[in-house]
Amino acid sequence: MNFLKRFFGKTVKEEKEDSDAFKISFPKFNYELEFLEALEKTPIHKLLGYNPYWEPRFKELLGELNPILDKFLTQGLIEISLKEEVLKVPELKKILKENNLPQTGNKEILAKRVFDEVEDKSYDIHLIPFYKLTPKGKEGIKNYRDEFLKQSLNFLKHQAELLLENNLSVLESNHFHIRGQHPDQRSLSGIMNSFGERSNLVLKKLSQNEPFRIQCKFPIEFEKKLRVLIGFREMIIPFFEEFKNEYLKDIDLNEIYSILKTNPEILDFGDKDDFLKTLIHFEHLHFWNQAKLEEILEFKRRHSDSKFEGIQILNSGCKCHEEFGEEKYTWDQLDHLPTLPRFTKCICIYNLM
């Protein structure tokens, strides 16, 4: 943290304002360090050529990137490294001398000078400089990531508590608080799903203990946590893995797996290492469909004169399409509507027809 403070210095006042407004806050992205990490992942292979995938995004967030690279260099977070260089020191010096440029500095400095200042660009082909993180830069990234993860896990645990307490209004306002804090998160890590009306309905169903689709008797502690994990899938997908591991560390997943094996429908949840993901997907789709169904029925109730004839099941993409073909249910056939999903890989959804 000292590193971050020194480098990007958040004032005490800002921190105080944050903590006054929200007891537990989601960490803020540090876009400069995100940029530094992007350099680590996809090094810039020429001094003037950025990665076309993220360059426009970081320019949008940070403005011109060259001054930031200079700052990173000055602070010793990155260094210019020369890859596959063909020119040796005496040759570099000779070129500099011919161009009336200083011949001081180590090989990388000499090469950079040739690259930057010599007018004859035919030398560039022999110099492939790229920015490389120094150990200090790598440590900075690691500290940032560790701290970010720690803070986000705390935040998510807090959110999980709110879901269990059925305190959806605070959960929602926290969620929107994060979204407000991170208007730029798209394409950095795409953190948030919306907390729209359907999400709200899904969370409500989860927090009000509406039954799972699977008929198994899980230990109550696991049931609670499963509800939270489904809720988090609805809201925040990319942090899911870390959060899940931390959150389930007191649960005996072997036991859960053997209970799951006894489900009366003999649904296949995959192998022991992987079943949880499938279970959460399956139950999430169930709650999502229940919410959608409720929305549709509510719509029907309010618009009795609408031209919709009933509910259809959209089933392109899972084996239900072959098995059941087109599935349409008029309003007086709703008793026959199957419960979704029908099997673990089913991705069918209800829709107005």
Summarize as ranges the residues that interact with Zn ion (CB under 5 A): 315, 318, 320, 346, 348
Helix H, strand E, coil C: the string for 102-154 is: CCCCCHHHHHHHHHHHCCCHHHHHHCEEEEEECHHHHHHHHHHHHHHHHHHHH
Query: Which CB sits closer to Zn ion, 33 or 348?
Result: 348
**CA–CA distance from 105 to each of 92, 101, 150 (Å)?**
11, 12, 42
Q: Quick one: DSSP state of residue 210?
A: P
Minimum separation from the CB atom of position 345 to Zn ion (A): 8
Find how far residue 311's CA is from the centre of its chain. Answer: 33
Q: Which is nearer to Zn ion, 93 or 342 (CB)?
A: 342
- Smallest separation, CB 324 to Zn ion (Å): 8
- Token code pair at residue 214: 């699977």
CB atoms within 10 A of CB 284: 20
Cβ closer to Zn ion: 271 or 322?
322
What string of H, E and C letters represents the secondary structure of 291-317? HHHHHHHHHHHHCCCCCCCEEEEECCC
Helix (H) or strand (E) holding 349: strand 349-352
Closest CB 320 distance from Zn ion, rounded Å: 3
Distance of closest approach, residue 291 Cβ to Zn ion, in angstroms? 17
- Return the number of the residue (318 or 353) whose C-beta is nearest Zn ion: 318
- CB-nearer residue toward Zn ion: 113 or 342: 342
Q: How far is the CB of 289 from Zn ion (least distance, A)?
A: 10
Task: Kindly give the interhelix angle for 135-164 and 168-181, rounded to the nearest 10 degrees.
Answer: 160
Inter-residue contact 289 to 350 (CB < 8 Å): yes
Report the residue count for the chain.
Answer: 353
Q: Which residues pair with 81 in a beta bridge?
A: 130
- State the alpha helices, DSSP H only, in the chain: 2-8, 12-21, 31-41, 55-62, 66-74, 89-98, 107-117, 135-164, 168-181, 197-207, 220-235, 240-247, 253-260, 275-302, 320-324
Is 131 or 350 the residue whose CB approaches Zn ion more closely? 350
- Residue closer to Zn ion (CB basis): 163 or 340: 340
Least Å distance between CB 213 and Zn ion?
A: 13
Which residue number, 93 or 292, has a Cβ lying nearer to Zn ion?
292
Closest CA to 286 of 202, 211, 200, 213: 213
The nearer residue to Zn ion, 4 or 347, going by C-beta atoms, is 347
Q: Is the peptide bond before 341 cis (omega within 30 degrees of 0)?
A: yes
Nearest-approach distance from CB 312 to Zn ion, in angstroms: 13
Q: How far is the CB of 317 from Zn ion (least distance, A)?
A: 8
